[in-house]
């Protein structure tokens, strides 16, 4: 960033006299022309639907078969319904939020610990590891894989007649098939968290590596001259200086985690089994949407917006502060 | 005599440090290999089972591939009914390629517009795009689905393609790339040569941005190829559905009664195209992960 800034400074100094000449012919309108497509599309297909979402969240509005009910103003009726206990005695949105957070946290703890360790290994000038390119390529690979295909694969492998159960019986670890997917809440959640870990730890490693490589090399050098151990270098130099980027990556990961959908959806046929223990916020949203209940779906979407909005604001402030 | 002694101690300390380093390195490599196995094991199982017949899969666990790969492939290719996978491949490919080209081109155009010109509200525009970047797409999806239902736009591909023109994250990547690589003098020089502003962008700026364009083309293709959420809501006609939607449909069927070799093949073919590209371009792709996402 500092580099880029200094380049910009040099540039602007260079072009100062030319700018004054240019004042006669203004090119400013081209700036507007070039950004018009982006903003037209944004207004029509993102902002306008977003406003509709907000409005629907205060309306009774759903389709049932060929009949459409509403839209009719309903004040906070949808929100009240959303935060009311359902027939099985739980508040679904709270349950969905808790599930999402639990599964995100289960994966994220390992994701960040291991990524941090890997990033330190890969950038260590003391270890001088070979084949880091290969390892990085392998660790990042799952991030590009279709999450729904990966979750389907896990279902195929971990169901009661799948290869994992076959292996367990072959080795004598289990005498009858274990239902990993639809009986034990913590087993299903662990599978989801494991998949999220595999899908994302490579990405996090690469981001943290970039962060560590951005730290002034001379700091490491002088610490080593003073005979500091690798542990002390990590805790006294790497970690404190990496903290802003670490927090940034953590919050963006949390925002992504709140939108968790494909993996638990495919693993559990969209039902969030067993007993709604893997139902996420977006799965709940999708449930209302596929029933064309725009009012209730709107309310869920607004809740999601408020939570992510708060978190994004934190990220935004961090980025701005670094710019100043 | 004394200096000799010191040398001896030095050499001993040196050797001890060397041994310690070798042990540490070995442990680190073991850890790395362990993670590599975790990453590849499930995909290896996928490949093995895609080469086995249903009867073989049911007969037990193995790590040795069988000979039914092409048979399974043929079955997958000829699949019809609720999940015609061949059509899904075609549909996903059409949507992903058009939308990735549009996303990349217009993000570059928008970024260039903000970077190269001084206009009123320029700073605001960049801040605004940064602000909207983090809003989950699911928030607009409610209003968007209602809009598409009302206007009878469902089952039309353009509703999955055109919104990609406004891609805040891609814009953000592009403008950072421009700042690092495009000197405004070049734009100036092209103007002197009498090139129009639009031509300057297409003929001078785009070629300079090639590495960034390539990376974003791949990322947006993959994002569209893997997308499950919106296509499932917006495309309801079987022959128009995309691959992830078909996977979800297959998953909702009774797994035990289906040809498992065929299912593994369907999963395999959903992942394979992206993996093939990654095999050749992993270096550039990994480089692209960092340059756009973290301002550090």
pLDDT tens, residue by residue, B172-185: 989 988 988 888 88
Topology (CATH level 3) of domain B86-253 = MetI-like fold (1.10.3720)
Cβ separation A286–B229 shorter than 8 A: yes
How many Å lie between the alpha carbon of A238 and the closest alpha carbon of chain B? 14
pLDDT at B11 over 90: no
Domain boundaries, chain A: 91-290
pLDDT in tens, A290-305: 888 999 999 999 999 9
Residue B82 C-alpha, separation from nearest chain A C-alpha, in angstroms: 16
For residue A161, the chain B residues in CB contact (below 8 A) are: 58, 256
Cβ–Cβ contact A248 with B under 8 A: yes
Residues B149-161: pLDDT tens digits?
Answer: 989 999 999 999 9
Q: How far is B3 from chain A (nearest CA, A)?
A: 23
List, as ranges, residues 114-153 from A with C-beta within 8 Å of B: 114, 118, 121, 126-127, 129, 133, 135-142, 144-150, 152-153
- Cβ contacts of B104 within 8 Å, gap of 6 or more: B170, B213, B216, B217, B220
CA distance B4 to chain A (A): 24
CA–CA min distance A79, chain B (Å): 16
Chain A, chain B: beta-carbon pairs less than 8 Å apart: 308
A155 touches chain B (CB under 8 A): yes
pLDDT for B48:
93
Class (C level, CATH) for A91-290: mainly alpha
Does A208 touch chain B if contact means CB atoms closer than 8 Å?
no
Domain boundaries, chain B: 2-70, 86-253
Indicate which of B47, B99, B142, B291 best probes the interface with A, i.e. most A CBs within 10 Å of its own CB: B142
- Comparing alpha-carbon positions, the chain A residue that sits nearest to B57 is A163
Indicate if the pLDDT at residue A16 is higher than 50: no
Angle at A176 between CA A173 and CA A179, to 5 degrees: 95
Q: How far is CA A222 from CA A36, A231, A233, A238, in A?
A: 52, 15, 10, 13
- The arithmetic mean of pLDDT across residues A47-57, rounded, is 95
Helices H / strands E in chain B, number of each: 15, 0
Question: In chain B, what residues touch A39 (CB-CB under 8 Å)?
Answer: 166
| CB < 8 Å to A207, chain B | 289-290, 293-294
Res. B220: pLDDT tops 90: yes
* Residues of chain A with C-beta less than 8 angstroms from the C-beta of B278: 137, 141, 144
pLDDT tens for A86-121 read 877 888 999 999 999 999 999 999 999 999 999 999
Residues in A closer than 8 angstroms to B153, CB to CB, are none
Query: What are the C-alpha distances in Å from A290 to residues A296, B139, B158, B246?
Result: 11, 15, 20, 16
Using the beta-carbon criterion (under 8 Å), do A245 and B289 form an inter-chain contact?
A: no
| Model pLDDT, residue A17 | 47
> What was the pLDDT predicted at A261?
94
Number of other residues whose CB lies within 10 A of the CB of residue A131: 11
Would the CB atoms of B110 and A29 count as touching at under 8 Å?
no
- Mean pLDDT estimate for chain A: 86
CA distance A183 to chain B (A): 17
Say whether B21 and A127 touch across the interface (CB within 8 A): yes
Q: Where are the beta strands (DSSP E) in A66-134?
A: 67-73
C-alpha A113/C-alpha B185 separation (Å) is 46
Q: Which chain B residues are within 8 Å of A213, Cβ to Cβ? A: none
End-to-end CA distance of chain B: 54
Query: Model confidence over A208-241: pLDDT tens digits?
Result: 998 898 888 888 888 888 888 888 888 988 898 8
DSSP state at residue A145: S
Per the CB < 8 A criterion, the answer to whether B250 and B263 are in contact is: yes
Separation in Å, CA of B143 to nearest CA in chain A: 4
A10 band by pLDDT with thresholds 50, 70 and 90: very low
pLDDT at B165: 95
**Contact predicate A70/A62, CB 8 Å:** yes
Contact yes or no for B138 and A285 at CB 8 A: yes
Contacts of A293 (CB under 8 A, 6+ apart): A61, A62, A63
Q: Which of A10, A15, A30, A230 to substitute to test the interface with B, most B CBs within 10 Å?
A: A30
**B165 vs A38: CB contact, 8 Å cut-off?**
yes
Q: What is the b/e burial string over A11-45, where b = at least 16 CB atoms within 10 angstroms of the residue's CB?
A: eeeebeeeeeeeeeeeeeebbbebbebbbebbeeb
A105: distance to nearest CA of chain B, Å? 19
Closest CA to B143 of A280, A308, A45: A45
pLDDT in tens, B76-134: 999 888 889 999 999 999 999 999 999 999 999 999 999 999 888 889 999 899 888 88
Contact list, B255 vs chain A (CB under 8 Å): 155-156, 159
């Amino acid at each position: 960033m500092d580099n880029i800034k200094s380049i910009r400074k040099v540039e602007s100094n260079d072009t100062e006299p030319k700018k004054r000449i240019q004042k006669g012919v203004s090119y400013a309108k081209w700036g507007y022309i070039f950004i018009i497509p982006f903003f037209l599309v944004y207004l029509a297909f993102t902002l306008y639907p977003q406003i509709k979402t907000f409005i629907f969240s205060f309306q009774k509005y759903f389709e049932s078969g060929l009949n459409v009910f509403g839209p009719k103003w309903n004040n906070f009726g949808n929100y009240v319904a959303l935060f009311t206990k359902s027939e099985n005695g739980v508040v679904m949105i709270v349950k969905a939020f808790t599930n999402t957070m639990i599964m995100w946290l289960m994966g994220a703890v390992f994701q960040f610990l291991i990524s941090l360790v890997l990033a330190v290994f890969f950038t260590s000038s003391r270890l001088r590891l070979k084949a880091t390119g290969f390892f990085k390529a392998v660790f990042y690979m799952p991030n590009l894989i279709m999450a729904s295909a990966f979750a389907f694969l896990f279902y195929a492998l971990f169901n009661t007649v799948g290869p994992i159960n076959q292996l367990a019986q072959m080795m004598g670890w289990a005498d009858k098939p274990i239902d990993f997917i639809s009986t034990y809440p913590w087993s299903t959640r662990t599978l989801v968290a494991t998949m999220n870990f595999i899908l994302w730890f490579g990405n996090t490693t690469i981001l943290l590596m970039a962060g560590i490589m951005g730290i002034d090399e001379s700091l490491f050098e002088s610490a080593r001259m003073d005979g500091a151990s690798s542990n002390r270098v990590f805790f006294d130099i790497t970690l404190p200086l990496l903290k802003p980027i670490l927090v940034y990556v953590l919050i963006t990961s949390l925002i992504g985690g709140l939108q968790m959908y494909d993996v638990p959806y495919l693993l559990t046929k969209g039902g969030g089994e067993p007993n709604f223990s893997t139902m996420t916020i977006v799965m709940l949203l999708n449930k209302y949407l596929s029933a064309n209940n725009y009012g209730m779906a709107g309310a869920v979407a607004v809740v999601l917006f408020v939570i992510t909005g708060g978190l994004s604001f934190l990220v935004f402030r961090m980025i701005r502060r670094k710019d100043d | 005599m004394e200096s000799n002694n010191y040398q001896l101690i030095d050499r001993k300390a040196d050797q001890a440090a060397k041994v310690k380093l070798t042990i540490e390195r070995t442990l680190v490599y073991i850890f790395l290999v362990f993670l590599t196995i975790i990453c590849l094991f499930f995909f290896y199982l996928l490949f093995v089972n895609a080469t086995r017949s249903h009867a073989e899969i049911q007969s037990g666990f193995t790590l040795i591939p069988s000979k039914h790969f092409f048979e399974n492939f043929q079955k997958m290719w000829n699949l019809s009914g609720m999940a015609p996978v061949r059509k899904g491949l075609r549909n996903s490919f059409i949507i992903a390629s058009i939308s990735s080209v549009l996303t990349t081109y217009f993000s570059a155009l928008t970024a260039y517009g903000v970077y190269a010109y001084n206009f009123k509200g320029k700073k605001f525009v960049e801040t605004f795009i940064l602000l909207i970047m983090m809003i989950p797409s699911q928030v607009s999806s409610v209003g968007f689905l209602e809009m598409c239902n009302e206007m009878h736009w469902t089952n039309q591909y353009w509703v999955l393609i055109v919104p990609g023109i406004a891609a805040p994250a891609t814009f953000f990547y592009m403008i950072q790339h421009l700042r690092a690589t495009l000197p405004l003098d070049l734009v100036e020089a092209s103007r002197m040569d009498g090139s129009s502003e639009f031509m300057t962008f297409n003929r001078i700026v785009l070629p300079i941005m090639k590495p960034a364009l390539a990376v974003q083309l791949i990322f947006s293709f993959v994002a569209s190829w893997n997308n499950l959420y919106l296509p499932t809501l917006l495309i309801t006609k079987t022959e128009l559905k995309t691959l992830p939607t078909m996977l979800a449909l297959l998953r909702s069927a009774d797994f035990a009664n289906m040809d498992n070799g065929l299912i593994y093949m369907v999963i395999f073919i959903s992942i394979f195209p992206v993996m093939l590209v990654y095999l050749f371009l992993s270096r550039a792709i990994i480089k692209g992960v960092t340059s756009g996402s973290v301002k550090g």
